[in-house]
């Protein structure tokens, strides 16, 4: 048993250490803890305080060492176990954290703190679905734990349960109005509703609560950009980079912001950060080869490869003729397999071999198509007309013959696409086909569906309710047969489409196309904010919303365009 004088000294020293740590006098706080350890080697309170000090000073390994020693002495110390699990998880070792937690949770299954930390591990391991029941149990056991409600909101949101996420975020804010993650989540909900000013207000509150919350800074810049408050968005990006110059996700978004402003010189450079952002949804198809620097090949073999979606392949592909001329040597292009026939025909005269991404190739250097912009498109004025694709002439002629037989009275043949499948912003770029009724009723036009996906029910309902026919060619699958889609677009008099891959086909084939653009989240960087033309494709005309979600004026303007009076 410790003498009373020792107990008093220990209690006094630990109290002093706590106060000293709180005021930032870490060396003095550490000295007080070491005094305790001289009196009682391995004292749990001193080890725990030293671990907290080390963690606060960013000394994760030292904190973990002290906590490991502490847990050896007090194996049921839930606080120490949770803190050690947090340190390991934040160091990128969630599996190690989970192993530690799994050793104690069976003995304390009703401990909300342990369940919460295990749920964090599951989230970090991208198993969000498994985290949700853990978090729901945690908030049942500890309904006043704001952090558990907040993380539950994050998890529910990631699996697409927006109402459940909103309820969890609101529960967290009711308990802690300064919960930064819940505030950020509420901002995201407002952003999805295209209430940009409201979203920005939530993000600002999140930043006030947690000034180094980089995601909230990035989201604030995005919301301000969508609200067309360009100066404020620029300032938000600048503040984010002051905090973390190498925040790659933010740098990638900043690149897109700059490109949307026409600042291509800086925009392409910043957009290169996408390859350093772990969440960028594209693999590196370059096989680890050195990056081509734009110089003449001089006997080397260049692999160019398409990235992201079909529309991105075609958009960035507008730079291919310039890239081939600059390379002045052997070039192979790797693209999504469905595009191989179309690109092979279009680039045959340039001597480019076209393969599917992932096929073996004996190249020396490589470059993703999007990264050609820094070499070849220093400004919008360098874009050219964008025409480089060549449809199958025989298929084009055959389609024209079939359509002439079907519509012998000489109607204008207009292709139609009204939906985007973009997982992130597709809903904002899409509209209900019935919203197009004012133009679909116009005489003298035969409407041909170019829409990919399962749309038979929509087309049948349109015919049944309104007596309007939108023809879906049974010989062409616009999802699987992209070469056939290109031939179909080339055979038509024009195309009407929302912002999806169809417009890229039309532009790269040089066909007239009227693009229906959303004003909010569905606005892509390559569509200028105000102009009716894009520098990327000369044959496209842009008809844009002026208020997010309001398609009626867009359809009215399209009607005038089709009538030849606008």
β partners of residue 414? 447, 494
pLDDT above 70: percentage of residues in the chain: 99
- CATH numeric code, 393-562: 3.40.50.2000
301-331, pLDDT tens digit by residue? 999 999 999 999 999 999 999 999 999 999 9
Region 23-30 average pLDDT: 91
Tokens at 109, concatenated: 């299954």
The pLDDT mean for the chain works out to: 93
What pLDDT, in 10s, does the model give residues 348-386? Answer: 999 999 999 999 999 999 999 999 999 999 999 999 999
| pLDDT at res. 487 | 98
List alpha helices for 210-331, DSSP H: 214-226, 230-243, 248-260, 264-271, 310-317, 320-327
Q: What is the pLDDT of residue 418?
A: 94
Higher local confidence (pLDDT), 235 or 6: 235
pLDDT of residue 564: 84
Spatial CB neighbours of 27, under 8 Å, sequence gap ≥ 6: none
Residue 1 pLDDT exceeds 50: no
* Contacts of residue 260, Cβ cutoff 8 Å, sequence gap at least 6: 225, 267, 523, 525, 529
pLDDT in tens, 123-136: 999 899 999 999 99
SS3 265: helix
Provide, rounded to the nearest whole percent, the portion of the chain with pLDDT above 90: 83
Check residue 5 and give its pLDDT.
66
> Contact 322/316 with Cβ under 8 angstroms?
no
3, pLDDT greater than 60: no
Strand 412-417, strand 365-368: pairing: unpaired
Beta bridge mates, 303: 332, 366
Task: Report DSSP letters for 351-379, one per residue.
Answer: T-EEEETTS----SEEEEGGGGHHHH-SS
Can you name the residues that pair with 432 across neighbouring β-strands? Answer: none
- Model pLDDT, residue 504: 98
- Is the pLDDT confidence value at 416 over 50? yes
Tens of pLDDT, residues 451-503: 998 899 999 999 999 999 999 999 999 999 999 999 999 999 999 999 999 99
**Range in 160-174, 179-193, 321-335, 545-559 the model is least confident about:** 545-559
Question: Backbone phi, then psi, for 103, in 5-degree steps?
Answer: -75, -20
Q: Give the model's confidence band at 399: pLDDT under 50 very low, under 70 low, under 90 confident, else very high.
A: very high
Averaged pLDDT, 556-560 = 95
**In the block, which residue shows the tokens 């009196």?**
39
Which tens digit of pLDDT belongs to each residue from 70-120?
Answer: 999 899 899 999 999 999 998 889 999 999 999 999 999 999 999 999 999
What pLDDT is stored for residue 301 in this prediction? 98
Alpha-carbon distances, residue 344 vs 57, 356, 483 (angstroms): 58, 11, 11
Which of 25-34, 81-90, 275-284, 360-369 has maximum average pLDDT?
360-369
pTM for the full model? Answer: 0.86
d(CA 403, CA 400): 5
Q: Between the CA of residue 40 and those of 2, 9, 36, 82, 500, what are the distances in Å?
A: 9, 11, 6, 25, 70
Q: What's the CA angle centered on 450, arms 444 and 454, to 5 degrees? A: 125
Whether the pLDDT of residue 32 is over 70: the answer is: yes
1-15 burial, b at 16+ Cβ within 10 Å, e below that, comes to eeeeeeeebbeebbe
Q: Which residue has the higher pLDDT, 8 or 137?
A: 137
For 7, 157, 415, 463, 504, the CA distances from 496, given in Å and listed in that order, are: 83, 34, 6, 19, 12
- How far is the C-alpha of 203 from the C-alpha of 187, rounded, in Å? 6
**Rounded-to-integer distance, Cα 113 and Cα 102, Å:** 13
**The pair of three-digit structure tokens given for residue 492, joined into one six-digit string:** 């038509």
Q: What is residue 392's predicted lDDT score, i.e. its pLDDT?
A: 98
pLDDT value at residue 272: 96
- C-alpha neighbours within 13 Å on the C-beta side of residue 347: 28
Q: Is residue 27 predicted with pLDDT exceeding 80?
A: yes
d(CA 197, CA 492): 42
For the chain, residues classed under CATH 3.40.50.2000 are: 393-562
């Amino acid at each position: 048993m410790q003498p009373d004088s020792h107990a008093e000294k220990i209690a006094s020293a630990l109290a002093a250490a706590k106060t000293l740590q709180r005021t930032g006098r870490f060396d003095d706080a550490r000295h007080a803890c070491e005094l305790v350890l001289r009196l009682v080697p391995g004292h749990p309170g001193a080890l725990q305080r030293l671990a907290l000090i080390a963690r606060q000073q960013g000394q994760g390994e030292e904190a973990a060492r002290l906590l490991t020693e502490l847990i050896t002495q007090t194996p049921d110390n839930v606080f120490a176990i949770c803190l050690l699990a947090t340190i390991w998880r934040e160091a990128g070792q969630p599996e190690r954290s989970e192993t530690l937690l799994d050793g104690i949770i069976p003995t304390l299954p009703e401990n909300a703190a342990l369940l919460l930390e295990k749920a964090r591990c599951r989230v970090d391991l991208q198993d969000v679905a498994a985290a949700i029941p853990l978090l729901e149990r945690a908030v049942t056991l500890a309904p006043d734990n704001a952090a558990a409600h907040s993380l539950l909101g994050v998890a529910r949101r990631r699996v697409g349960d927006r109402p459940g996420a909103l309820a969890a975020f609101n529960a967290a804010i009711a308990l802690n109005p300064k919960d930064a993650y819940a505030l950020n989540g509420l901002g995201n909900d407002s952003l999805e509703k295209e209430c940009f000013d409201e979203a920005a207000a939530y993000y600002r509150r999140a930043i006030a609560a947690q000034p180094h919350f980089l995601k909230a800074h990035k989201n604030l810049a995005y919301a301000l950009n969508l609200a067309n408050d360009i100066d404020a968005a620029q300032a938000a990006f600048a503040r984010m980079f002051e905090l973390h110059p190498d925040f790659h996700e933010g740098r990638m978004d900043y690149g897109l912001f700059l490109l949307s402003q026409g600042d291509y010189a800086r925009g392409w450079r910043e957009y290169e950060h996408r390859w350093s952002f772990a969440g960028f949804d594209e693999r590196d198809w370059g096989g680890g080869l050195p990056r081509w620097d734009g110089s003449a090949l001089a006997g080397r073999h260049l692999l160019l490869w398409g990235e992201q979606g079909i529309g991105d392949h075609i958009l960035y592909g507008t730079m291919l003729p310039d890239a081939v001329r600059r390379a002045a040597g052997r070039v192979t292009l790797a693209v999504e397999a469905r595009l191989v026939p179309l690109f092979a025909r279009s680039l045959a005269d340039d001597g480019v071999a076209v393969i599917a991404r992932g096929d073996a190739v004996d190249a020396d250097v490589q470059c993703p198509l999007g990264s050609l912009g820094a070499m070849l498109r220093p400004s919008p004025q360098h874009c050219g007309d964008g025409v480089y694709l060549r449809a199958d002439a025989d298929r084009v002629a055959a389609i024209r013959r079939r359509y002439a037989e079907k519509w012998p009275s000489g109607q204008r043949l207009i292709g139609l696409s009204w939906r985007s499948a973009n997982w992130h912003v597709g809903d904002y770029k899409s509209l209900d086909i019935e919203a197009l009724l004012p133009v679909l009723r116009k005489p003298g036009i035969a409407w041909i569906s170019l829409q990919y996906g399962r749309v038979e029910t929509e087309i049948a309902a349109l015919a049944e309710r309104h007596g309007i026919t939108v023809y879906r060619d049974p010989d062409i699958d616009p999802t699987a047969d992209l070469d056939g889609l290109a031939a179909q677009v080339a055979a038509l008099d024009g195309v009407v489409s929302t912002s999806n891959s169809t417009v890229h086909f039309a532009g790269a084939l040089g066909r007239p196309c009227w693009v229906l653009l959303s004003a909010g989240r569905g606005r892509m960087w390559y569509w200028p904010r105000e102009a009716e033309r894009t520098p990327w494709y000369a044959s496209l005309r842009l008809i844009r919303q002026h208020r997010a979600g309001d398609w009626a004026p867009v359809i009215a303007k399209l009607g005038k365009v089709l009538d030849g009076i606008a």
